[in-house]
């Protein structure tokens, strides 16, 4: 049996050294060390030897097995090293790799964060509210009763409440983030300074400067001795921080049921440089920030004493602000998924 074990060792070592890949080594391992391998079957025959011969043959068999396993391991290591060297020859590891695409914030989000930071520097706190709103907070708490003509200009989207306990027409998609005025003022006593960024929805004809879904940043301040000049100063400061100190602004009187007096803020159209284009309806100016002094009825509706406190409110058209900020000629570009557009920001 000694001679047979030596033949197995020599044969296995010779085949292992000549192996050229990992698959061939695995086959050699099975051929000699597998369940039906030559060495495995030979080891089973040791029990048939005389007792005095078994220890000597057992030592030799273990030595043969050890030599085969070590040779397999060394050859496996050599083949891996050789393969790695060949790969390095074919591939220039010093060449730069493929640069992965990195995402970034949407332009709407970028400008929104800037708006929030500007108002935080003025002591305002940011709040959030539901996009599905009640008629009460969206209209009635803002001095817009059910028969008020201003409702016709809102182009409201109503939710289907059939087969529910909700009064028809009571649940809507909010048309303005001003709906958060009542919700917040009911819970917080003055003084307060709040901004409310968020999406609004109106059934409107979509064009270069209008959309049925748009972003606003509602803001309001309530305190003692708040005047219209405080509102003008705030608007002027904020828009110059966001659009540059040389931006041209103008104010015009307007009418909103929840403010008295009401003002409209216009910014010189950055798309055409004030010359007139489809975005500004060829006027050279774009409405950017309707505002005004909070109507006493709104203050009374939330339990404030309108004789002791006053306040102002405004609503930045964020979608329009972003469009003007980047001199786009169509706010629909903000919802366009074309990467050629988004990668510019």
User: Helix (H, G, I), strand (E, B), or coil: what is residue 134?
Assistant: strand
More confident residue, 217 or 64: 217
Question: Quick check: bond before 292 cis, omega within 30?
Answer: no
pLDDT of residue 291: 95
Mean pLDDT of 235-247: 92
User: Of 303, 123, 319, 149, whose CA–CA distance to 230 is shortest?
Assistant: 123
Mean pLDDT, all residues of the chain? 87
**DSSP structure string for 162-195:** TTSSSPTT-EEE-S-GGGHHHHHHTT-PSSEEEE
CB atoms within 10 A of CB 167: 10
According to DSSP, residue 320 is labeled H
Q: Tokens for 137?
A: 């907070």
Q: What's the CATH architecture for 107-342?
A: 2-Layer Sandwich (3.30)
Q: Which residue in this structure is represented by tokens 């969206």?
A: 138
Query: Would you place residue 250 in the very low, low, confident or very high pLDDT band (cuts 50, 70, 90)?
Result: very high
Q: Are 79 and 21 in contact (CB under 8 A)?
A: yes
Q: pLDDT tens digit string along 159-174?
A: 988 888 888 889 999 9
Instruction: Kindly list the domain boundaries of the chain, sorted by start residue.
Output: 2-90, 107-342
Q: pLDDT tens digit string along 171-195?
A: 999 999 999 999 999 999 999 999 9
According to DSSP, residue 80 is labeled H
Distance CA 176, CA 129 (A): 11
Query: Which residues pair with residue 201 across a beta bridge?
Result: 213
Q: Tokens for 237?
A: 């400061």
pTM recorded for the entire structure? 0.67
Mean pLDDT of 11-18: 84
CB atoms within 10 A of CB 217: 23
Question: Quick check: bond before 261 cis, omega within 30?
Answer: yes
pLDDT of residue 233: 95
Query: Would you place residue 79 in the very low, low, confident or very high pLDDT band (cuts 50, 70, 90)?
Result: confident
- Return the percent helix, strand and coil in the chain, to nearest 5: 45, 20, 35
pLDDT at 16 over 90: no
pLDDT of residue 259: 93
Mean pLDDT of 298-324: 92
pLDDT of residue 298: 94
pLDDT of residue 219: 95
Q: Tokens for 154?
A: 């809102």
């Amino acid at each position: 049996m000694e001679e047979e074990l030596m033949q197995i060792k020599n044969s296995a070592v010779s085949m292992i050294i000549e192996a050229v890949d990992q698959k061939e080594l695995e086959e050699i391992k099975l051929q000699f060390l597998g369940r039906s391998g030559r060495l495995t079957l030979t080891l089973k025959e040791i029990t048939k030897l005389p007792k005095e011969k078994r220890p000597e043959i057992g030592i030799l068999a273990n030595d043969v097995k050890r030599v085969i396993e070590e040779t397999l391991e060394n050859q496996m290591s050599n083949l891996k090293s050789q393969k790695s060297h060949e790969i390095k020859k074919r591939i220039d590891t010093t060449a730069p790799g493929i640069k992965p695409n990195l995402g970034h914030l949407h332009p709407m989000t970028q400008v929104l964060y800037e708006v929030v930071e500007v108002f935080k520097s003025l002591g305002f706190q940011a709040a959030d509210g539901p996009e599905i709103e009640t008629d009460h907070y969206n209209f009635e708490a803002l001095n817009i009763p059910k028969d008020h003509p201003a409702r016709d200009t809102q182009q409201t989207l109503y939710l289907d409440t059939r087969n529910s306990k909700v009064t028809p027409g009571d649940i809507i998609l909010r048309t303005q983030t001003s709906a958060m005025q009542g919700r917040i003022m009911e819970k917080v006593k003055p003084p307060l300074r709040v901004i409310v960024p968020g999406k609004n929805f109106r059934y409107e004809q979509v064009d270069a400067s209008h959309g049925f879904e748009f972003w606003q940043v509602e803001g309001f301040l309530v305190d003692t001795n708040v005047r219209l000049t405080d509102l003008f100063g705030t608007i002027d400061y904020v828009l110059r921080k966001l659009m540059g100190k040389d931006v041209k602004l103008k104010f015009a009187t307007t009418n909103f049921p929840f403010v008295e007096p009401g003002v409209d803020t216009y910014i010189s159209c950055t798309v055409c440089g004030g010359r007139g284009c489809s975005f500004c309806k060829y006027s050279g100016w774009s409405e950017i920030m309707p505002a005004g002094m909070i109507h006493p009825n709104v203050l009374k509706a939330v339990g404030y004493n309108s004789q002791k406190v006053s306040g102002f409110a405004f609503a930045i058209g964020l979608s329009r602000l972003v469009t003007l900020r980047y001199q786009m000629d169509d706010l629909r570009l903000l919802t366009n998924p074309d990467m050629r557009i988004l990668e510019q920001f």
